[in-house]
Amino acid sequence: MAIFTTGLKTGSYLTKLRTNRNFVAIDADAQNYINRSITAGNTVSASQTTAIVNLIVALKANSLWTKIGLLWRPHNATFAGSNICLKHPNTNLQITFTNFVSGDLTINGLKGNGSNKHARLNYVPDTYHIATSTSVSYKLESAETGNDIAEFGSNSGSPFIYWQSYPRFTSSGIDFTELYSGNGSAFISTTAYAGSILGRWSFIRESAPNFQIRRNKSQITAITNNAQTGTALPTTDLAAWGVFDNSSNAVGLLSPRRMSEIMLASGLTTAEINTYEDLMNTFATAIGA
């Protein structure tokens, strides 16, 4: 694939591709994502290529790429190949969509219906995650309300233990939990919250025993002196637009909301999650979101 672009910095992250016209610098991981997207039936324009390369190079330059285990953010509104992740630990196992159709996707993300549309991330934390100090982020683009719905997570049967990516917006605020397998007391707290649920939500444990919830770079709540409730990571898969139940091999708590981004990482600091948000906002602008 010959790509002609300007303004890309060369360096250790980049592979130089020689063409008949000039040298073209493109990041190898960006090229891998582009190739997989095209193979899956998507299209990648010149401007989208530049946006993808700039994002991945910037994530690497800020030491975020190696900490990120999974990053999903469609670069356009083409449904084919929109399940391909910018980063997934196993490029042969991308997100598996169930019951979604092309009309559910816009440049601002994919919308569930709260009844049968969901996805499996094919991401088992115990297999792929590099540390128990987890960081989770996702961006909500629509705010449909309802009871017993979640954007993504997992449980291991009874007792229900959810990963920290499970906030449930209720009349009382936000129920949120942090999952470590084998511990039935993983529930952390309910925090009062009456604001908008739109935007990018991040859940980080920067350093034990402190845990915080953030929305659009602002802290919603911080839990101090809250020790991790276990040391083992979940051996269950994670679902999106719902929660994967390992005991029934089904997805429940299905969400009708539109979500444009999912990120799972290990041990991001507050400063790093803020940098990540800035880079993802720049990427969204570049692709016309």
- Mean pLDDT, the chain, rounded, equals 79
All structural domains of the chain: 1-61 (no CATH), 68-286 (2.60.120.200)
Average pLDDT over residues 163-180: 57
What pLDDT is attached to residue 9?
Answer: 36
Phi/psi for 7 (5° steps) reads 85, 0
The length of the chain, given as a count of residues: 289
Question: Exposed (0-12), middle (13-18) or buried (19+): which is 23, by Cβ within 10 Å?
Answer: exposed
Lowest mean pLDDT of 24-33, 148-157, 160-169, name the range: 160-169
> Per residue in 196-212, pLDDT tens?
889 998 888 776 556 78
Amino acid present at 182? G
> Per residue in 67-108, pLDDT tens?
999 999 999 999 999 999 999 988 777 999 999 999 999 999
Tokens of 282: 């720049």
Average pLDDT over residues 27-43: 95
| Confidence band for 53, pLDDT divided at 50, 70 and 90 | very high
What pLDDT is attached to residue 125?
Answer: 78
> Per residue in 2-12, pLDDT tens?
343 433 333 33
Per-residue pLDDT for 175 more than 70?
Answer: no
| Confidence band for 146, pLDDT divided at 50, 70 and 90 | confident
| Confidence band for 159, pLDDT divided at 50, 70 and 90 | very low
Q: Which helix (H) or strand (E) holds 204?
A: strand 199-207
Closest CA to 118 of 238, 282, 279, 271: 238
What pLDDT is attached to residue 57?
Answer: 97
Tokens of 59: 């994530």
What pLDDT is attached to residue 185?
Answer: 43
What pLDDT is attached to residue 167?
Answer: 55
Residue 48: partners with Cβ closer than 8 Å, 6 or more residues away: 75, 76, 287
Per-residue pLDDT for 221 more than 50?
Answer: yes
- DSSP-based three-state secondary structure for 25: strand
The Cα–Cα gap between 56 and 279 comes to 9
Query: Does the global pTM surpass 0.95?
Result: no
Closest CA to 36 of 5, 102, 80: 80
Lowest mean pLDDT of 89-103, 123-137, 149-163, 267-281, name the range: 149-163
List the helix and strand counts (H, then E) for the chain.
4, 19
Q: Check: CB of residue 83 under 8 Å from CB of residue 119.
A: yes
